[in-house]
Amino acid sequence: MEVFMDDFTVYANSFEACLGNLSKVLKRCIDTNLVLNFEKCHFMVTKGIVLGHLVSNKGIEVDKSKINIISSLPNPTSMRELRSFLGHAGFYRRFIKNFSKLALPLQRAKVGQPVHVIAYASCTMDSAQQNYTTTEKELLAIVFVLDKFRSYLLGSRIIVFSDHVALRYLLKKPDAKPRLIR
């Protein structure tokens, strides 16, 4: 029989106690014929990645590389992608204030419960705005809604979802047209 282990951590409150614990673990490895891959071993470190978390004398923190992975995930467009996103984000739920509340609309969408509308808003475009391109009109709608519901949105983190590909590109572009910025 072969058994494969990925991670285990040996620690103590002092260097001497840690050496003692490490000695016991290494003896147990020898006694049970457990082979260690020394390229993956880290001895007497003050911080390290353990089970996807950064562990140090400050406590348990988020591994920044995992945050970059989550941030680079595309907006979910299918149920599979939504489940993937919720799985990645849920791994760090202990570090995200009110995670359950924030994820609830996505969880509901995952199980087929419809997201309900809390407000409708519309406006009439003047003659100049009617000549805008489709992308500019989409951006105008976002600006209108953010302005209209400003009192409800102040102090909150806002995420704008749009299926308009050109608009998503434009919002990421650092040198947008001055008219669009206004």
pTM given for the model: 0.47
* Tokens (6 digits) for 32: 């049970």
Check whether 181 has a pLDDT greater than 60.
no
Check whether 115 has a pLDDT greater than 70.
no
State how far the Cα of 33 lies from the Cα of 43, in Å rounded to an integer.
20
Cβ-in-10-Å burial (0-12, 13-18, 19+) of 94 comes to exposed
Q: Spell out the residues 6+ positions from residue 176 whose beta carbon is closer than 8 angstroms to its own.
A: 170
DSSP 157: -
Chain-centre distance for alpha carbon 27: 41
Q: Where are the beta strands (DSSP E) in 15-91?
A: 47-50, 53-56, 59-62
Check whether 97 has a pLDDT greater than 80.
yes
Check whether 128 has a pLDDT greater than 60.
yes
State how far the Cα of 137 lies from the Cα of 162, in Å rounded to an integer.
13
Cβ-in-10-Å burial (0-12, 13-18, 19+) of 167 comes to buried
Query: What pLDDT score was predicted for residue 3?
Result: 62
Average pLDDT of the chain to the nearest whole number: 81
Q: Can you tell me whether residue 75 is helix, strand or coil?
A: coil
List Cβ<8 Å contacts ≥24 apart for 44-50: 44/15, 44/18, 50/7, 50/9
State how far the Cα of 89 lies from the Cα of 102, in Å rounded to an integer.
11
pLDDT tens-digit map of 32-91: 888 888 888 888 888 888 888 888 888 888 888 888 888 887 777 777 888 888 888 888
Query: What pLDDT score was predicted for residue 19?
Result: 93
